[in-house]
Every structure is written in structure tokens, then in C-alpha cells.
Structure 1
Amino acid sequence: MSNVLITGGAGFVGSNLADRLVAQGDKVTIVDDLSMGLVENIPDSDLVTFYEESITNKEFMEHLLVKNKFDYIYLFAGVASVADSVARPYETHQVNQEANVFLLEVIRKRKLPVKKILFASSAAVYGDDPQLPKTELSRIKPLTPYAIDKFASERYMIDYGNLYDLPTVAVRFFNIFGPKQNPSSPYSGVISIITDCIREGKTFNLYGDGEQVRDFVYIDDVIDALLLLTRSDKAAEAHGTYNIAAGKKTSVNDMIAAYEKITGKKLDINQEAARQGDIKYSYADISKLAGLGYKPVYNIETGLEKYWEYINK
């Protein structure tokens, strides 16, 4: 049994990871201020301890780390709304960067025996650089405070690993979809918003022509990747940064067409002007992760089928 900390564990990815860890018998501690996560996402299990707390509470976080001596730490907590980071750059910076650096500093100073620390970054760090597909060595061009903080935190993880011999790894998430994604969240994925519209007969606001290309990856594949990077024998070598995606490009229009076919329902679409700052094309090269044995199981159709099945359960 491993002892695991997930910050942001009531959120979409964190709670799906918690489900998997609990299923394999791990003890899981979740810290989440519920600003975006949902308490009902948290697994109902004696193996789970939940604290409704912000990771910016330094005294609380230091005490928690020192007391529990976690084997694995997954850092998912953050203000995920890009718009919010533009409106409140300093407040979101404290969550998205400062708090994570503080945790690294506690682990370093207290010499805590962590086996792996994984930080969740974002494909947003690539910005609108035209080179495709995005590799981990692609040009970094963060366009918002959110993306700047994600990239800076990545670098802190990697450099703390190199300078102080901490077992750190960072991942750049592309467009994840699946169960427990909150469609009312300001930064929810387009698929969860469309799912909500199809189910409730609501109109979907499509910004732009729908030819935007994304790399949609199903949540189960993401959890496989996270466990591969932290738990597998090859994880010892897994430092640096890894793209987590399906390695496939799908336009929003093609995704909608596939979803309409699966659900047997027509999506009511209201077309709006493209949003300023939206990136037109984004998809990943996943060969670095594939080199460790990662192979996505789901494509856009099979992922949508499983998600729709879950939604209607």
C-alpha cells in the first residue's frame, strides 16, 4: 500500500486518479479548496482522507507533508481558468506557481523520502507557435499568466530534480475528456459542454468555424500515463517533461459529427466569432512517452462512446 497525496483531488483528473489508486488499495490524501472541484467526485472510501483547504496555506501544507511522509505526490491543484488568470494574475500566480515551489522547498529542506513528485502542466505553454505536432522541445510561447505559471512551475520541478536530486516529473496535458468533468466550470473541456448540451437539449455556442484542431485524449489513457510515469520500473528514468495526449488530430467539427452519430441526436449549434487568443491548431507528438511504453487505448469514437455510456448510467 502506497501513501499518496493529490492536490486538486476533487477536480476532474485528480478524482479519476484517486479512483484508480483506491481500487488498487493505496491510501490517498486529497487537498482541494473546492473552488473548481466537486466534493462528490471524491471516492467514498476509508482509504481516502479529504481536507478542504487551499494549497496556498503554507503552515497547513508543511505540517501535512512532514506528518504523512507521502510516497507519491501529484500536484494538480490550480486555477485552471485562463480568463481568470488574465483578470487576476497575481492571485492565480500564488496558486499556480508559488504554492508548488513552496511544496518543493519543504520536501528539499525536510529531506522527505518521496518516490515521485508529478506536476500537471498544460499544452497552453506552447501558445500559438505554428510548429506541429508539438514535441516537448517545441518552442515555448506562453500567452497568458496561466501558461507562464505552468511553464515556470515545470522548470522549478525539473531544476529541483537536477539540483537537489528530487524525483520530479512534469506532464503537459492536452484536451482530456471523460467522467467527472464539470460542464459548468469556466474552463471545462469542449466535450463536456457539448455532452451537457446534447443531454439537456441546449444550444452549443461554437466559436469560430469549427475547424480548430485538437488532440482529444480519454481520461483512462491519461491515468495510465500518470501511473506509468510515477510507478513503473521505467519511471526511475522519467524526468523532464512529457506530453500526455492521444497523438491524434481531430477538428471540433469532426468530433461533433462523431458524437451526433454515437448519441443519435443532433446538436443545436449557434456559431459565434472566433475568440481572441484561441489557438487554431494544437496536437501532440507523444513519442517520448511512447518510448516508456505508453499506448493510448481509446480513439475519439471509442472514448466518446464510453463517456456517453457513463453519462447515461
Structure 2
Amino acid sequence: MQSSQLGTVLVTGGAGFIGCALSQLLAGKAQRWVVLDSLHPQVHPSTERPAELHSAAELVVGDVTDAAAWDALLADVKPDVVVHLAAETGTAQSLHEATRHADVNVVGTTAMLDAFGRAGHTPSHFVLSSSRAVYGEGEWQRADGSTFLPGQRSHAQFERGEWDFAGAKPLPSAAARTWPAPTSVYGATKLAQEHILSAWTGSHDSALTILRFQNVYGPGQSLINPYTGIVSLFSQMAMRGESIPVYEDGRITRDFVFIDDIASSLVAVIEHPPVADGVPRFDVGSGVGTTILELAQSIARFHGAPEPKINGAYRDGDVRHAEVDISDSLDSLDWKPEWDVDRGVAALQEWIAARV
């Protein structure tokens, strides 16, 4: 693709884990690649420009909730494409810091759109990084074949050690058929982002593509953020020779998707926006569910660490099963995941070892 075809791209939160990986693939191809990022200390160890951010990217340090920062930015930048990555992402943290998550994720999104209104500019395409958290527990199926949305597991249920929903099994979620029912404040704010952007772009004749990411991991993720994800946290424990603690009965399931596969999915929709009525929503994951115990065992084996220990602990609001059906994404996008968990975990260990 020629630079003139890609035009000007604005990436909110673009100095973070996903934004830096994306910049390495596309920043050099754009007429302008502009990044707005607050360089929040929970994610960034310093206020210096991240080394992983492509040299062609113009970094503007600013908060997505700050109207003045937006006005100053849009006085100079008229983006053709906006990739909206900026978000607070701590699922457990959001239960105790709900205002912070709502401020960045919801108000930050509305502040961006209001700023475009003041600037009199409408980008042709928005791409939103949404989350598997919008599904909550997703659908479960009873023995008779009927399905239901079980809602949130209660604190009392956790205390009794009842990890699953009795007499039922979980089904993979899919944007085309699974009704979103978030069970965390974070998930609720990501769904709000979807609704807000859908309403605004629909009334401004701008395209919107929503990518619902699964659990992202890989080289480049923050090693100082306690909410960055269990793959990084488990890895650092195993490197120290510690036994990895595993919650519940070890059978919590997640779809762990490698950063390169996330970045390539964004490239696919930026370079070739899907043609669809309404707002296309795509699930982005490996398409394979992995239990937390399986993940911990894989990491422990890599380092020769002690066997992980199931401790029966739990987190209120945690989802039991998060697996996704990516068939629609494979059919509709010029994209497919290339990394399985074992290969991805090995690559992450090597990256962390060079930095710890």
C-alpha cells in the first residue's frame, strides 16, 4: 500500500502495548501517524518516549479526557482514520476504581467526539479496540440443549466453591450471536464505547469497525502494571523459581492471543475496511481456549519452576469461561492468527528474561 492511500492516522493510547506493535507495522506507510497518549505511570516506567514506538510516529502527550489537549491536537491534525486504543483495562481494578475507568473509557470517548465536532472534522473510519469482557459469562447450555445467559457468579457462590453453573456447560462467544452482558465495570465501559461510537459515526456517515480482543499477551507488555495480565505475572514468578498460584480449581478458561496477531488484525481493518451494513464487530483471538492451570504449567515447565498450586482463591466479578468463535473474523477479514500459546509463551519468556 502507498502512503497516500493510508493518509493521516490518529491512534489514541498509541504508545501502549498494542499501539507500539501496530506502529511497527503501519506508521512508516502513513502520510502522518500521530499518537495521543498520557504515558500513565501504571503502564509506563517513565515519561520518556517508548523505544518500541516507530520513529515515524508523532507522539503527543495528553489525556483523552482533556478538551484543551484535543483542541490543540485537532488544530494541527485532521485524521482520516482514528484507532481508539486509549482505555483503562484492569478488570478487577475496575470494581474498586469505577470512576477512573468510566472517566477514561466513556468520558474519554465522548471528549474525543465532541472535539471532532468543535473542529468541524469527521474522520472517514474509526477502529475501536473493544474487549471480550463485553460478553461477561456469555452463553451456557443445559443438558436438554437450551441456552441461557447465567449472569454473574455471586460472592456466596464463590465462598461455597461452586465455580461452574450447575447442570450446564459454557459455549464459545461470537459477536454475531452472543448477547453482550458484561459482569465487570471495565466490560460495561467497553460496551458503552461501542454504543457511543456507533451512535456518533452513524449520524456523521463515518465508518466504524469494532474488534473485540481476547486476552492479549506478548513482548512489549508492561512488566510494572499489576493488572497487565497473568501471562506476564506468571512468567516473572516462574523466573524467580516460585510456584505459580492458580485460582479456583484451575479450570478458568481464557483465549490467549499473541500481540502480533492483534496487530495484524488492526492492519487488516485499517488497510481494508470491511464493507458491511451497520457496524461490523469481529472477535479477535486464537480461537482456542486454555485453562489457567494449563497456562501456568506451560510457563513453569519452560523455567523448570515448581508445579503450580491450585489454591481455591477467587476474584469477585471474575468470568469463569471466556472462549471465542473466530470463524466470522476468518471469513470476513484478510487475517488469521499465527501464534499458538506454547510458541507465544516461549517468545514472551525470552523477551522478559532480557529485561528482568
TM-score, with structure 1 as normaliser:
0.89
Contact 1:12–1:181 at 8 Å: present in 2 too? yes
1:306 and 2:347 matched = yes
AA aligned opposite 2:237: C
1:101 and 2:110 matched = yes
Cα distance in 1, alignment partners of residues 74 and 251 from structure 2: 46
Cα distance in 2, alignment partners of residues 155 and 240 from structure 1: 13
RMSD: 2.4
Aligned mate of 2:17, from 7, 12, 16: 12
Note closer, same or farther for the CA distance 1:70–1:25 as it changes in structure 2 (3 Å cut): closer
Cα distance in 2, alignment partners of residues 52 and 286 from structure 1: 35
Cα distance in 2, alignment partners of residues 179 and 23 from structure 1: 21
Aligned to 1:29: 34
For 1:43-62, what aligned pairs fall within 5 Å after superposition?
Answer: 43=52, 46-62=55-71
AA aligned opposite 1:200: R
Aligned mate of 2:304, from 261, 265, 279: 265
Identity fraction in percent: 24
Between the two proteins, the alignment pairs up a number of residues equal to 311
1:161 and 2:213 matched = no
Please, which runs of 5 or more residues in structure 1 have no aligned partner? none
Cα distance in 1, alignment partners of residues 208 and 117 from structure 2: 12
Aligned to 2:188: 148
Any idea what the Cα deviations from partners look like across 1:195-214, whole Å, max 9, x if unmatched?
A: 11122334533222211111
Note closer, same or farther for the CA distance 1:8–1:311 as it changes in structure 2 (3 Å cut): same
Note closer, same or farther for the CA distance 1:45–1:170 as it changes in structure 2 (3 Å cut): closer
Cα distance in 2, alignment partners of residues 11 and 45 from structure 1: 12
Aligned to 2:50: 41
1:297 and 2:306 matched = no
1:235 and 2:235 matched = no
Cα distance in 1, alignment partners of residues 55 and 253 from structure 2: 42
Deviates more, 1:193-202 or 1:21-30: 21-30
> Greater helix share, 1 or 2?
1
Deviates more, 1:32-41 or 1:246-255: 32-41
Contact 1:41–1:180 at 8 Å: present in 2 too? no
Any idea what the Cα deviations from partners look like across 1:234-284, whole Å, max 9, x if unmatched?
A: 5344933211111111111222233334x2422464543122221111111
Contact 1:9–1:37 at 8 Å: present in 2 too? no
Aligned to 1:133: 172
Any idea what the Cα deviations from partners look like across 1:114-167, whole Å, max 9, x if unmatched?
A: 242111111111112343210113122122322211101101222223222112
AA aligned opposite 1:34: L
For 1:210-249, what aligned pairs fall within 5 Å after superposition?
Answer: 210-232=250-272, 234-237=273-276, 239-249=279-289
Please, which runs of 5 or more residues in structure 2 have no aligned partner? 141-170
Point out the structure with max Rg over C-alpha. 2
Any idea what the Cα deviations from partners look like across 1:149-190, whole Å, max 9, x if unmatched?
A: 110110122222322211212221111110111233132111
Note closer, same or farther for the CA distance 1:195–1:32 as it changes in structure 2 (3 Å cut): same
Contact 2:9–2:30 at 8 Å: present in 1 too? no
Cα distance in 1, alignment partners of residues 283 and 38 from structure 2: 27
Contact 1:10–1:37 at 8 Å: present in 2 too? no
2:274 alignment partner, SS class = helix
Any idea what the Cα deviations from partners look like across 1:50-86, whole Å, max 9, x if unmatched?
A: 2332111112113312421123211111121234332
